[in-house]
Structures are given as structure tokens and as C-alpha cells.
Chain A
Amino acid sequence: MNENVLRNNQTGTDESLQWVTFQLSNELYGVNVLQVQEVLKYTEITPVPGAPHYVLGIINLRGNVVTVIDTRSRFGLEIKEPDDLTRIIFIEVKGHIIGMLVDSVAEVVSMLRSEIETSPILNNEDSDNSKYILGVQSTDKSILILLDVEKMFEDEEWTEAAGF
């Protein structure tokens, strides 16, 4: 559904979208609220030997085994020890549940489609991570980076897994 956000924007329908915002390092990011299953406090994560570096491990989410990734590590930021504010955002991507470890979760914000601007770095071919950015919303003080989680997890990771 996220993929359609920009396209629909161009066709002129202007509806309200809600985003869960979270903090990573000094930046504020947002994921579409419809993709968020739940947010949990940091709990013990069982490491999986041999897993990709950005995969922290797995946790027991009410009887289901769910993979948790280190979002910082995924975005190339330095690793931070979990603290009281650390949260795991569980998002659903194509039927899979994935946990994203983030520094803190801020709030849910609403915005109109028309308020979303395309990312200034969207055309930068060199930046591997820019393609995961759906757009940005800038306010007077800060800028909110909206993530396309589907893209984030569908790319190499899925194919890596399928190639096994």
C-alpha cells in the first residue's frame, strides 16, 4: 500500500495518512501505521549464529518466532546499547512479521498525502539506502523521513533467502 502513496498523490486524492515515528541517532523516521503490528519494550533477543550482521536474533512473540533486526546497523549507523527507551517495532511485510530495534518510539502523526515531499536524496544512485525512503515531511524545526519498509525487506534479503 505504501508503494501507491506517491502515485495516488499525483492523481490528486488527498487523504490523511498516519505514521508511527521513531528515533534513530538524531533523525526521526516514520513507518505507515497500518504496517505496524505492535511496539514492545526491549526484551532478551536470542542471537542466531551465522545470521547477517544486521539481524540481532529471534524472540518469542507469544509462541511465534520472530526475527529482530538492528535498524541502526541496517542503516549503517553505529551500534548503540539498548536502554530504557529502546523499543522493538513489529511490522508486517508481505505476511512476515519482523521486529525493528529502534532507539525510541515517539508518536503517531497524521499528515495529508500532499504534505509528503519526495526525498531530496532520492536521485542519488550511490546511496543504497535512499531507495527505502518514500518521502519526507519537513516542519519548521525538523524533518521526518518516511520509510518504505516493504522495499527495505524485499530487496536483497528476500532474494538471499530464496537463493539458498
Chain B
Amino acid sequence: MSIDLNDEIIQDFLIEAGELLEQLDQQLVTLETEPDNVEILNAVFRNFHTIKGGAGFLAINTLVDICHQAENVFDVLRRGDAVISTDMMDSILQAYDAVLAIFEQIKAGEMPRPADAALISRLEKFANPESATAQGKAPPASKPEQASEQSVDSPAPGETHTPAAGDEITDDEFESLLDELHGKGKHTMPVQAASKPEDRPEAQDKPDQAAASSPAASDEITDEEFELVLNELQKQKKGAFSETPVSKPAAVTSTDSVNTVNATEKKSAVTEMKAGSKDKDKKVAADSTVRVETGTLDQIMNMVGELVLLRNRLMNLDEEIGHDEMSSTVANLDVVTAELQSSVMKTRMQPIKKVFGRFPRVVRDVARTLDKQVVLKMTGEDTDLDKNLVEALTDPLIHLVRNAVDHGIEIPEVRLAAGKPKEGTIELTAEQEGDHIMLKISDDGAGIDANALRRKVVENGLMEADAAERLSDHECYHFIFLPGLSTKDEVSDISGRGVGMDVVKSRINQLNGTILINSERGVGTVISIKVPLTLAIMPTLMVSLGNLEQIFAFPLVNVNEILDLNTHQVNVVDGQPVLLVRGKPLPLYNLGRWLTRKTGDDSDVSGHVVVVSIGTSSIGLQVDRLLGREEVVIKPLGALLQGTKGMSGATVTGNGKIALILDLPSLVQKYSHIR
């Protein structure tokens, strides 16, 4: 059987459950650090429950099973019958992964394979902790656990048994029974049926449990059991989507039955009512938002980009013409366009939380495999950036975070010996700086051994020993981005997930970003990533080169400063022109000679120098004329030119000409041998 992905109900489920799953991931890890946080416990329980509900409605039984077990575990935890252990957390996280896997299968349109039976039985074990059995005076005490979230059948064994056992209900027991009902109240049938018919199928998995528990508990059919049977009948009808008429009578019957039960039940019904109305409030709030296809947003963004170009052109024309009225109109257009641009950009903005949210889990898993203790601190999670960027940054960042745990943080013994706290700290920060985002991943680990890197570079024949010796430590750190540079001495196998540091770097470069490493032996490492807020529009510095005055655009993110060549002295060291800037030598290249057919003489020292940073190094690029800053929309080069070294794309400038956008890392790589 396959799943019809065109079905709107399935699509809705996928979207909603997808969001819940995202929340769950973060909640689970938070829960591990704050096991006593009842709010989170409840939230996790609810999320599993809601997913289960949806899955049941769609008859995805594998998903129901696993969510159900997870829910049971959390129910036990919620009632304080068990304490979260790391083992338990592992199993729960595995269960979460299994849910994710099933989810992916559904997305792919296939009926999911059943979940790992061992995992389910492990969860079952956690859902029935020995502690509960030991503490319970009468067998019923443990029964509810099994039935845990079954709102309906749990009171049944409780009630039928208590009289049978002949014991009087102590206050404590009554209290816990109350709690139990209270907790589950939400899922009590009557109101559920009225408020949210979709949730009903959760009853699907009940019958087996009910069948298991009720005969054992009593031969008589209680009202609750009767209700159950009704539910089951109803469920069978559900396939025909006729639940509304059927659920009505069910609700009536059960309300009747409530009267015959004790007051507790009623109380739970009331609580449930409240929960129901809360749900409704949420619904109303959700209606004020609209889901929009990303494709549509991209299209709007493109058009706004074009509009920005047109505005630029108009502004250029205006300067030439200098008509008063025209000027004010263009100025207005400028304001409106800028606002439009920023609001469209805002629609595509997502908090970086979306990426950050995955790190607690990553850190936890890696740390646990390596027996390290790591605390993860995150700041600036609410920093917004372009959706595409969020997605594009996820993999590189995960790699860097894994690296930080794996290579950065030492094992506890080493840390203690070094006089550091046993727990390592990894700090993730995100902040907006003007038109770009600064991301920092810092750890207080061992730092990078520059000498080891020097050795490796020489061993791999990438550099002469004396040349490597001359490099500053800072420059050496850059070597970790070299492809194929094995630093095995300090590397364990954990970060071998296919994405090497070289890939991280090229990804960041693709985003017109820069990456910087700072490290101190024994103190820690800081990796800083600077990326533009959006990929669609890029601020650039326009320059022109050569006799034809061809225009080239520097991505502004790479530009450090602009110098006037006349005021600085140029020396030639080892055949390489070098500019002294504030006492520091800066290699100087003539961009015109690289990119145009200009052949002029070597002593040409007019013009300006654009100082750009590429990785950890800075170089000066001599240009003929500076044209100024312009925001551009990047247009990819055609298929024939894609991959041309040194060029990342083209754009149409304000005066309708074409400007090539420079890709500085590959530009320098390709041309730097030309002096």
C-alpha cells in the first residue's frame, strides 16, 4: 500500500507533524538538561500524542505504535514514577529518530516499515518501571501505566480492582488517581469527539490494551469498556470518513456513562473542555498566517531585485538629467523600493534557531559517544536570516559543531589535569552586524596545534619546510581547510561524516561568506563565519579596469578597506610588489593585468588599492577606477561559463551595462602567479 501524497489531509499532517517534530527535537534535549521541567515534559507528551493522533487518523500504524510507546514513557515520567536516565533518553531519542525515519518514508510516498521491535520493547520497559510496581500496594497501581494514556480504560482497571482488593483508597492513591485522570483528561472521549474529531483515531491502539487489561481486571463490562467498544466500531467506520455522525452518539453515550462513574471523571471532563478551548484559541491565531510556497516568495524576491536594478538605473538617469520634480519622484521611489525590498526580505527570514535547534542533539550525541562532557550555550538564536541561507548553513555548521566537540573539547581527565572545569563549553552565537550575520562557534578546548599543521603541510608536500616555518600560527590554522590534509594525530573518526572542512569552506564561499579561525593552545578555538543576510541581493563595490573601462564588482563582504596608491609606498620583495599598510606588508596585485588585456608598464602606480580578505590573509588589488557601492542582483553565468574561475556571476548595473561579480578566492587561486 502506498500513500497518496496528493491527499490534502496527508499534506496537512506532514506539515503540522513536521513542525511538531522540530519542536520535539529541541524539547527532548532540553529535557535531558532539565529533567524536572514539568512544562517541557508535558509539551513532549503532547507533541507525541498529537503526532500519534494524526498518524492514527491516516492509519499509519507503525507511527502510531512508536509514538504511543514514547508517550507512555513520558506519561510515567510526568507522574513522577520514574526519573529520566541517560539510557532512557537514548531510547527516546532513538524513538524520535525512528519517527523521523517513518516520516521521511511517508514523505516519499511509501507506507513506512514497522519500527524496530527491540526499540519498542525497550520503550515498553521504560513505560513500566519496576519502581512503580514495587511502590504499588495493589496490582492496579501498575496497570494504569500500561494503559497510561488511555484515558478511557485506565480508570477501569483502577476502579474494578480497588474494591476487589478490598483496600480503602488512601489519600495518596486517590491523589495519584486524580493526577492520572487529570493528565489524561485531555484525551477523554466525549469532549474530544466534539472538539477535534481528527484526534479520535488515537483510540485505534486502545482495543488491544483494553482487551489485555479488562478481562484480567473484571468480567463485568464497565461503562468505560463499553465506550471503548463503541470507539472501536467508530474507528472502523472512519475509513469511510463518516466519523461526525457516528461520534455524536458516542459522545452521548459516554456522557451518560460519566454520570455513573465518580466525580473525578467529571472533573477530568472539565479540564478537557478547557484544553479543547485552548486548542481553539490556537487555531484562531494560526488563521492569521498563510502558508506560501517558497517558489512564490523566490519569484517575488526576483522581481523586487529587478525593481531595485531599475531604481538604480533611474537614479543614474536622474543625476544626468537633474530635473527637480523627477528627482523628488525618484527619491520617493527609492524609499518605497527600499521598504519593499526589506519587507519582502523579511517574509523570507527565519530565525537561525532553526539551525541552532539541532545542535543540542548533535553535541549530546557526539559527546556521549566520546565520553566527553560538554555544555552548549547558544545566544542570538532569534537572529533572522534568509531561508535559503538557513538551509545552506545547516550542514557546514553541524560539521563545525561536531568538530568542536570531537577535536576541540578534551576528555574530562585531560581537562581536569589542565586545570579546566571537567565540562567543556561550546558557545554558539549569532548576531547581525549591518548587512551581514556573524556566527561564532567557540570552544574552550585544546585549541589547534599550529606546529602539527605545519608538519602535515610539509609532509604532504604542499609547502617547503622553511616556508611553513615562516607562517604565523594564524595562517597555519587556514590549512585545516585544505582538502585531503589529514590531521589524523588529533582526529578521531567521529567527524568523518563526509563533509570535510574544505567543503565547509567552499559552502561558505558559495554564500559569499567568509570564515576565520582563531585559536590558542590550551585555551580554545573560535571559528567566525560572516555571511550576508540574503543571497538574492548583494552589496558590492564596483570598480572599472582597463582602457575599455570594464566594470567588475567586489562582494562587499570581502572588502576591508580602500587605499589610495599614491600615499603608500610600494616595495618589491622577491619579485612581488608589496604595499606597506600601517607597518604591515600587503601583497599587491594588479587586477587590470589579471582580467583585461591591459599590458601597461610595471611602474604604473596610479589608481586605488582594494584591500580584500580571503580566508585569513589579506591582499591588495590595484584597480584603475572606483565607481562606488551598488546593491546588485546576482545573475548566474550561462552554462557555458559556469565555473569560470574568478567569476561568481554577473549583474546589470545602473546604466544598463554588465558587471562581472568577482569570486575572490578562486580569482586569487587562478591568477596570483601573474605579477
Contacts and interface: CB of A to CB of B under 8 A. Distances in A.
Q: Indicate, yes or no, whether A interacts with B.
A: yes
Contacts of B657: 46, 60
Contacts of A107: none
Contacts of A158: 639
Nearest to B646: A50
A160 B657 CA distance: 28
B640 A157 contact: yes
Nearest to B636: A65
A66 B639 CA distance: 10
A65 B553 CA distance: 15
B656 interface: yes
B647 A46 contact: no
A63 interface: yes
Contacts of A55: 640-641
B644 A67 contact: no
A161 B550 contact: no
Interface in A40-69: 46-52, 55, 58-60, 63-67, 69
Contacts of A97: 638
Given A49-B646, A63-B306, A65-B650, A58 B638 contact: yes
B660 A48 contact: yes
Interface in A113-164: 153, 157-158, 160-161, 163-164
B652 interface: yes
A96 interface: yes
Contacts of B641: 48, 51, 55, 58, 67, 161
Q: Which of B306, B639, B640, B656 has the most CB of A within 10 A?
A: B640
A164 B640 CA distance: 11
B635 interface: yes
B670 A50 contact: yes
B481 interface: no
Given A60-B652, A97-B638, A157-B639, A51 B658 contact: no
B645 interface: yes
A64 B650 CA distance: 10
Contacts, number: 78
B647 A69 contact: no
A96 B652 CA distance: 19
A37 B111 CA distance: 46
Given A59-B658, A60-B652, A52 B638 contact: no
B640 A67 contact: yes
Nearest to B650: A65
A98 interface: yes
Contacts of B645: 50
Contacts of A47: 550
Contact of A161 (B595, B635, B640, B670): B640
Given A58-B658, A65-B651, A161-B639, 12 more contacts: A49-B595, A49-B644, A50-B647, A52-B640, A60-B656, A65-B652, A65-B658, A67-B639, A67-B640, A97-B638, A153-B639, A161-B642
Nearest to B597: A47
Nearest to B662: A49
B637 A58 contact: yes
B642 A58 contact: no
Interface string A5-17: 0000000000000
13 contacts: A47-B550, A48-B644, A49-B646, A49-B647, A58-B637, A58-B650, A63-B309, A67-B637, A67-B638, A96-B639, A157-B639, A160-B643, A161-B640
Interface of B: 306, 309, 550, 594-596, 635-647, 649-652, 656-658, 660, 670
Nearest to A54: B640
A131 to B, nearest CB: 18
B614 to A, nearest CB: 17
A163 B644 CA distance: 11
A55 B635 CA distance: 18
Contacts of B651: 65
A98 B550 contact: no
Given A47-B550, A50-B646, A51-B644, A65 B638 contact: yes
Nearest to A62: B652
Interface residues of A, number: 27
A65 B644 contact: no
Nearest to A49: B595
Nearest to B670: A50
A52 B647 CA distance: 13
A66 B650 CA distance: 10
Given A55-B641, A69-B640, A64 B550 contact: no
A56 to B, nearest CB: 11
Given A46-B658, A49-B646, A98 B652 contact: no
A64 B635 contact: yes
Contacts of A161: 639-643
B647 A48 contact: yes
A77 B650 CA distance: 29
Given A51-B644, A65-B652, A164-B643, A46 B660 contact: yes
- Of B594, B636, B639, chain A has the most CB atoms within 10 Å of the CB of B639
Nearest to A95: B639
A153 B641 CA distance: 12
Q: Which 7 A-B pairs have the closest CB atoms?
A: A164-B643, A67-B638, A49-B595, A46-B658, A65-B635, A65-B650, A161-B642
Given A47-B550, A58-B658, A63-B652, A96 B647 contact: no
A149 to B, nearest CB: 13
B637 A48 contact: yes
A60 B594 CA distance: 23
B640 A98 contact: yes
A161 B645 CA distance: 11
Contacts of A51: 640-641, 644
A91 B20 CA distance: 49
Contacts of B550: 46-47
A47 B644 CA distance: 12
A156 to B, nearest CB: 11
A58 B636 CA distance: 11
Nearest to A44: B657
A49 B638 contact: no
Contacts of B637: 48, 58, 65, 67
A98 B642 CA distance: 13
A58 B650 CA distance: 9
Contacts of B670: 50
A64 B305 CA distance: 13
Contact of A49 (B594, B635, B639, B642): B594
A47 B643 CA distance: 15
Contacts of B650: 46, 58, 65
Contacts of A58: 637-638, 641, 650, 658
